[in-house]
């Protein structure tokens, strides 16, 4: 009999010494970057429609819940301009150390201490949004489904505002079950996004899931 994977507790498992442990685990970095590569590929999935590259500038991508910067570091390597945002100072301090170790490039790499639910960014300023293993946690403090749905809708509305026209979002997360997956997806659909989800194992109730979304 296989033992179920223990889900991390937010924010407790990302503070103090646990932030250090997270940042120093080689397997964690490997897994996060593998997932980030998949998310980058999904950004350009033809099912999301055509996309036009502005030759005068590179894409500006928001790394939502950037943690210690594993995904941001890879996005920089791919040539994106990156803004990383995270709620936890202990994680963001590690990301800032990682940032200092990246060779100077012409690309933008900024880190912001802030809340996913209240983003301090300009309207229509972001080309893409990517989130790896963080979006689950935006509802960690909500006590019932009504509060959870309201918060998801509010967050999706904010993400729509900061995205440029036809901007795209890819979210990798772990819904508890099909119901939770549907309320996450629906929060975007009622806030002017088209999109769908991808699972490696469609029959699995929860597990790793990717939301692929385009602003209408």
CATH number at residue 167: 3.40.50.150
Q: Does residue 25 form part of some domain?
A: yes
Tell me how far apart the alpha carbons of residues 15 and 88 are, in angstroms, rounded to a whole number.
8
Parent domain of 197: 12-43+57-202
Task: Give the pLDDT confidence score for residue 202 in this predicted structure.
Answer: 79
Q: Does residue 7 form part of some domain?
A: no
Q: Does residue 214 form part of some domain?
A: no
Task: Give the pLDDT confidence score for residue 2 in this predicted structure.
Answer: 38
Helix then strand then coil, in percent of the chain rounded to 5, is 40, 25, 35
Q: Does residue 49 form part of some domain?
A: no
Q: Does residue 87 form part of some domain?
A: yes
Neighbouring-strand partners of residue 198 = 210
Q: What is the pTM of this model?
A: 0.92
Q: Which residue has the higher pLDDT, 167 or 105?
A: 167
Residue pair 174/209 in contact (Cβ under 8 Å)? The answer is yes
pLDDT at 63 over 80: yes
pLDDT band at 46 (very low <50, low <70, confident <90, very high): very high
Exposure letters 139-156 (e unless 16+ CB within 10 A, then b): beeeeeeeebbebbbebb
Task: Please classify residue 118 by burial: count the beta carbons closer than 10 Å to its beta carbon, then call 0-12 exposed, 13-18 middle and 19+ buried.
Answer: exposed
Q: Which residue has the higher pLDDT, 178 or 52?
A: 178
Number of domains in the chain: 1
pLDDT band at 57 (very low <50, low <70, confident <90, very high): low
Task: Give the pLDDT confidence score for residue 52 in this predicted structure.
Answer: 64
């Amino acid at each position: 009999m296989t033992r179920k994977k223990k889900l991390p507790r937010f924010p407790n498992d990302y503070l103090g010494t646990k932030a250090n442990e997270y940042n120093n685990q080689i397997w964690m970095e490997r897994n996060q970057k593998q997932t980030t590569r998949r998310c980058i590929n999904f950004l350009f999935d033809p099912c999301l429609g055509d996309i036009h590259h502005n030759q005068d500038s590179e894409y500006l991508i928001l790394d939502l819940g950037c943690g210690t910067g594993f995904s941001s570091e890879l996005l920089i390597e791919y040539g994106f301009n990156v803004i990383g945002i995270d709620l936890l100072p202990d994680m963001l301090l590690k990301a800032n150390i990682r940032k200092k170790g990246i060779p100077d490039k012409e690309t933008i790499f900024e880190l912001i201490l802030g809340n996913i639910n209240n983003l301090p960014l300009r309207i229509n300023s972001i080309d893409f949004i990517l989130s790896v293993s963080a979006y689950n946690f935006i509802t960690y403090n909500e006590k019932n489904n009504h509060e959870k749905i309201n918060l998801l809708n509010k967050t999706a509305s904010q993400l729509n505002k900061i995205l440029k026209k036809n901007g795209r979002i890819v979210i990798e997360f772990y819904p508890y079950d099909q119901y939770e997956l549907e309320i996450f997806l629906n929060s975007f659909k009622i806030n002017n996004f088209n999109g769908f989800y991808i699972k490696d194992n469609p029959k699995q109730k929860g597990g790793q899931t990717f939301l692929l979304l385009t602003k209408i």
